[in-house]
């Protein structure tokens, strides 16, 4: 099987600022750990240099005025009116090369989608992508340009049916909003409940509208949920819906800010549960565009995405992190010297309350959403369905 890993040394040159939790260095760290395991020189595996997207691609989702503000912000100084577009001190800082960063991330996601769609690769992984909060005219949650939406739109233009699976700790609100009224994209987001966490949306009753009714699926998880609840909820909801929908391509956002040690969220997953879910996504995906996402404990990020990439390539890799890597990264949080986290399973009264809440959400989705998702599009003559006229 052919796989492609999208990467550029340029990723880590962009800087959100010293105190900002999103460190682009985590991408370089991940690349180096994957490389230390020899996972970029396997037969059938390619490392592909990421290239910037064209502005026309970005305009397929974002407003022109907003792009102009991003361009004007590229010198690292906020232009007048920037705050109206969500830019400024805080979550979405203005920094040098802001538009170039967004173009590079988006370009890599488009390359991943293109390679998978054309059959050059069965799986393509863009660890810089998955910036799922960006809205058409507004930056949000560290995201300026919504690369998942733009990658999905490039597949829709070719008539593909796309399922989007988002396991970041935060709700994939920008992607949901983009496709809320269509049945051509099934969006599934599993995240910490919006009662506790940004962006405050993603409740089970957000199920789409009009022709899209039933095609937006949300599994809000209680804070402190562990691997067992994560894998349980995923297994009950995602595989049955994907099988019913029968996509041509799965696009996934594989954020790792849901882990116990992540400083920004309250979920208690480990990379053990994460790997179980990654394996399930792999089984469900006829073709797979894998994107990165959140993750603010940078050692976690590197370990989890290395494990994910090994699964994508059907490789079992040793738990002991290669010595060369450890000696060149003495201060980045690899003290355990192991790739896999300790198992963690909560046993308490709180756990039972959380289990009940997860069951309630699953029952709601079974009743309200499952009957609405079919395996054939209702509007088969939509513009863009050029290659699937028979549906
Ligand atoms: Zn997140």
What is the edge-to-edge ordering of all strands in the sheet holding 3-7? 45-49, 3-7, 123-126, 288-291, 249-253, 162-166, 185-192, 216-221
Here the tokens at position 69 are 């503000």
Give the pLDDT of the chain (391 residues) as one tens digit per residue. Answer: 799 999 999 999 999 999 999 999 999 999 999 999 999 999 999 999 999 999 999 999 999 999 999 999 989 999 999 999 999 999 999 999 999 999 999 999 999 999 999 999 999 999 999 999 999 999 999 999 999 999 999 999 999 999 999 999 999 999 999 999 999 999 999 999 999 999 999 999 999 999 999 999 999 999 999 999 999 999 999 999 999 999 999 999 999 999 999 999 999 999 999 999 999 999 999 999 999 999 999 999 999 999 999 999 999 999 999 999 999 999 999 999 999 999 999 999 999 999 999 999 999 999 999 999 986 655 544 433 333 333 3
Q: What angle do CA 227, 229, 231 make, to 5 degrees?
A: 65
Closest CA to 127 of 357, 368, 294: 294
Q: How far is the CA of 114 from the centre of ligand 1 (A)?
A: 25
CB-neighbour burial class of residue 386 (10 A; exposed 0-12, middle 13-18, buried 19+): exposed
DSSP 14-78: ----TT-S--THHHHHHHHHHHHTTTTSSTTEEEEE--PPPHHHHTTTS-HHHHHHHHHTTBSSP
Helix (H) or strand (E) holding 126: strand 123-126
Residue 295 alpha carbon to ligand 1 centre in Å: 7
Spatial distance between the Cα atoms of 176 and 132, rounded to a whole number of angstroms: 9
How far does residue 149's CA lie from ligand 1's centre (Å)? 16
Q: Residue 249: beta bridge partners?
A: 162
CB-based contact 309:292 (threshold 8 Å): no
Q: How far is the CA of 198 from the centre of ligand 1 (A)?
A: 9
Q: How many CA atoms lie within 13 A of 278 on its CB side?
A: 28
First-to-last C-alpha distance (Å) of the chain: 29
Q: Specify whether the CB–CB gap between 87 and 67 falls below 8 A.
A: no
Bridge partners of 338, per DSSP, are: 320
Six token digits for residue 59: 């305009």
Which of 171, 191, 329, 385 is flagged as catalytic? 171
Q: How far is the CA of 169 from the centre of ligand 1 (A)?
A: 5
Give percent helix, percent strand, percent coil of the chain, each to the nearest 5.
Answer: 40, 15, 50
In the reported structure, the alpha carbon of residue 330 is separated from the centroid of ligand 1 by a whole-number distance in angstroms of 26
C-alpha dist (Å) from residue 221 to 101, 111, 158: 32, 32, 34
Q: pTM for the full model?
A: 0.95
d(CA 228, CA 216): 24
For residue 358, report the distance from its CA to the centre of ligand 1, in Å.
20
Q: What are 97's two structure tokens?
A: 């090369």
pLDDT in tens, 53-98: 999 999 999 999 999 999 999 899 999 999 999 999 999 999 999 9
Cα of 26 vs centre of ligand 1, distance in Å, is: 14
Q: Quote the ligand 1 centre to 172 CA distance (angstroms).
A: 8
Closest C-alpha among 229, 18, 59 to residue 146: 59
Say whether 171 is catalytic. yes
**Cα–Cα distance between 284 and 232 in angstroms, integer?**
16
């Amino acid at each position: 099987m052919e796989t492609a890993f999208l990467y550029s040394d340029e990723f880590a040159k962009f800087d959100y600022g010293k105190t900002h939790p999103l460190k682009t260095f985590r991408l370089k760290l991940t690349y180096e750990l994957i490389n230390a395991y020899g996972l970029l020189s396997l037969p059938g595996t390619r490392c592909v240099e990421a290239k910037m997207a064209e502005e026309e691609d970005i305009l397929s989702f974002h407003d022109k005025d907003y792009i102009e503000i991003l361009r004007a912000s590229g010198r690292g100084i906020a232009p007048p009116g920037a705050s109206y577009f969500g830019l400024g001190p805080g979550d979405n800082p203005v920094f040098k090369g802001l538009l170039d960063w967004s173009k590079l991330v988006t370009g890599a996601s488009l390359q991943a989608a293109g390679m998978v769609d054309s059959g050059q690769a069965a799986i393509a992984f863009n660890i810089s992508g998955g910036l799922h909060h960006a809205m058409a005219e507004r930056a949000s949650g560290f995201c300026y340009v919504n690369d998942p939406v733009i990658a999905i739109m490039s597949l829709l233009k070719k008539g593909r049916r796309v399922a989007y699976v988002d396991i970041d700790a935060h709700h994939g609100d920008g992607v949901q909003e983009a496709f809320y009224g269509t049945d051509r994209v099934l969006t599934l987001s599993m995240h910490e409940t919006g009662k506790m966490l940004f962006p405050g949306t993603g409740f089970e009753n957000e199920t789409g509208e009009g022709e899209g009714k039933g095609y937006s699926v949300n599994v809000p998880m209680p804070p402190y949920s562990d691997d067992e609840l994560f894998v349980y909820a995923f297994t009950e909801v995602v595989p049955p819906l994907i099988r019913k929908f029968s996509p041509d391509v799965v696009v996934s956002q594989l954020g790792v800010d849901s882990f116990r040690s992540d400083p920004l969220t309250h979920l208690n997953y480990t990379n053990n549960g994460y790997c179980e879910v990654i394996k399930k996504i792999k089984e469900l995906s006829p073709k797979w565009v894998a994107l990165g996402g959140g993750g603010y404990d940078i050692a976690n990020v590197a370990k989890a995405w290395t494990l994910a990439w090994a699964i994508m390539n059907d490789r079992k890799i040793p738990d002991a992190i290669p010595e060369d890597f450890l000696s060149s990264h003495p201060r980045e949080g690899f003290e355990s010297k192991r790739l896999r986290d300790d198992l963690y399973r909560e046993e308490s009264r709180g756990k039972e309350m959380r289990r009940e809440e997860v069951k309630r959400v699953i029952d709601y989705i079974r009743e309200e959403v499952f009957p609405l998702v079919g395996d054939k599009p209702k509007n088969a003559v939509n513009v863009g369905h050029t290659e699937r006229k028979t549906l």
